[in-house]
Structure 1
Amino acid sequence: MSGGCADFDDLRRQAIALRREGLSLRQIRDRLRIGNNDILNRLVKGEPPPDWTRRPHARDDLRAKARALRSQGMTYDQIQVELGCSKSSISLWVRDLPKPVPRTPSEQARLAARKRWEHEGPRREAARQATKDTARREIGTLTERELFLVGVGLYWAEGTKDKPHARRERVIFVNSDPGMIRLFLAWLDMVGVDRGHLRFHVMIHESADVHGAERYWADVVEADVSAFGKTTLKRHNPKTVRKNVDTRYRGCLVIQVRQSAELYRRIEGWWYGIVGAASATEPSNRT
């Protein structure tokens, strides 16, 4: 020891104090200038090492997982398949836990199906996404005529239409899909509708994040929220079980074109022109 005159008990008190402050053996050795590891170990004997100096063991992790699986009701065989360790180790780790209640054949079948899906689900999802990505690339660039035809069909499927019993010769488009909204706006631009003739407002359930939805749709159409009309709130019906209740729900956006009776009539004419042209191309009508 340094100087050869340090009292062992005094050094031990210092070493224990440093150990309790969280120092490692090496730090204590350097701080007290102790060159003998045997003496160092005697000085801190009985004092546990600080947590940060403990090295995690892979077996500890396996043990924790095995206990968690056993608590979920898994058998030794199932835990072995899941973790790839021996039954003897599993027994040592979980034998103090209660045995799982035996499952009925139908429960076993459901469990097996769920386990299969856990492995199969991601693969199927990747295949679905690959199909969608391939299909998207197949579209390429739209010509103006293609965009025109798509826009007419889009409006006739989703827009407000005139009825003999209720004259509604106005262009009003309502949708919850931002992609549909952007496509319809691009179509309006193409057919020469000035953005200044458009009016926007949101339709949404009163229990949703109304202000958040207004900001969201304003970003989609690249307009200021202050330019939006009054939001239409759908009153809550306790008898209805709604599915669209997560944070992604933002209601619908309503796009209204002012002074659009003439445009509406043209849309209706374009649509029936498309229907007639499609009928003329049917195999039975070809010569």
Structure 2
Amino acid sequence: MVPPKTDMQARARELRLAGKTYDEIVAELGVAKSSVSLWVRDLPKPPKTHQQMHEMREARWVPHRRAQAIKRIATKLEAAYEIGRMTDRELFLVGVGLYWSEGAKSKPHRLSERATFINSDPGMIRVYLAWLALLGVEPERIQYRVMIHENADITRSEKFWADLVGVDTATLKKTTLKKHNPKTVRKNVGEDYHGCLVIDVLKSADLYRRIEGWWYGIVVGVEAAI
């Protein structure tokens, strides 16, 4: 049985006073929006909810954020074109700096002259491997190992890194699992998380000493130019 019109009007006014929007009243009563407007138009407009205010603020920022995103992309593309094709010497110098900032280093209290590079950035991994190739390091001297949190998709990550460096997953050394700490709020999660790739160069004591010497040579060269 359909409620009398007067009952519908009264209910519509109750809902409006409770802060409901026209659309919400229409959805509950099943009447035309024009009818609702007629019945409650003398009532004060309900204050916007926190969620509505948030949505309005976000909507106002959309054009600005879109413009900023376009500007960021344009700046990055312009900067990328400025690099152009790398010469062997440029790659050589970049590789030395890359290793000395991200690679394992020998310490006076822990002598370890071995070229080991660990990183989670696929771009850095590609540049480092190109640098090793430039130095004449044979592929058979390079070993790969994945380092990742134990609650991640290990199989998928192993395949990701193996595909990136062009080897079979069966040739990877045993994956190192990091213990998961529930108290730690990790940001490196989701589909894009693949852990780190560890790259070891076998019989690399001489290579490591040269890297150390090359880095000192860069530092001395810069200081001499100042």
Question: Which of 65, 74, 77 in structure 2 is aligned with 1:133?
Answer: 77
Match of 2:8 in 1: none
Cα RMSD (Å): 2.8
Match of 1:187 in 2: 131
Would you say the 8 A contact 1:75–1:100 is kept in 2? no
- Once the two structures are superposed, the pairs formed by residues 65-80 of structure 1 within 5 Å of their partners are none
CA distance in 1, matches of 2:92, 2:195: 27
Quote the offset at 1:270 in angstroms: 0.1
Match of 1:162 in 2: 106
Please state if 1:279 is matched with 2:218: no
Please state if 1:205 is matched with 2:144: no
CA distance in 1, matches of 2:106, 2:21: 65
CA distance in 1, matches of 2:145, 2:56: 49
Match of 2:47 in 1: 102
CA distance in 2, matches of 1:227, 1:250: 18
- TM-score with structure 1 length normalisation? 0.63
CA distance in 2, matches of 1:203, 1:191: 26
Quote the offset at 1:92 in angstroms: 2.7
Task: State the identity %.
Answer: 53
Structure possessing the higher radius of gyration over alpha carbons: 1
- Once the two structures are superposed, the pairs formed by residues 114-129 of structure 1 within 5 Å of their partners are 114-129=58-73
Match of 1:248 in 2: 192
Letter in 1 for 2:146: V
Q: Deviations over 1:180-234 (max 9, x none)?
A: 0010000001011111000001001111110000111001100111110000011
Would you say the 8 A contact 1:198–1:255 is kept in 2? yes
Compared CA separation, residues 112 and 224, structure 1 to 2 (3 A): same
Quote the offset at 1:107 in angstroms: 7.7
User: How many residue pairs get matched?
Assistant: 196
Q: Which has the higher contact order (CA 8 A, sep 6+)?
A: 2
Match of 2:12 in 1: none
CA distance in 2, matches of 1:134, 1:157: 26
Q: Deviations over 1:108-136 (max 9, x none)?
A: 87555312222221111011000000100
- Once the two structures are superposed, the pairs formed by residues 24-103 of structure 1 within 5 Å of their partners are 92=34, 95=37, 102-103=47-48
Quote the offset at 1:103 in angstroms: 3.9
CA distance in 2, matches of 1:261, 1:185: 18
Q: Which runs of 5+ in 2 are unaligned?
A: 1-18, 24-31
Q: Deviations over 1:141-172 (max 9, x none)?
A: 11100000000000000000011111111100
Q: Secondary structure at the match of 2:199?
A: strand
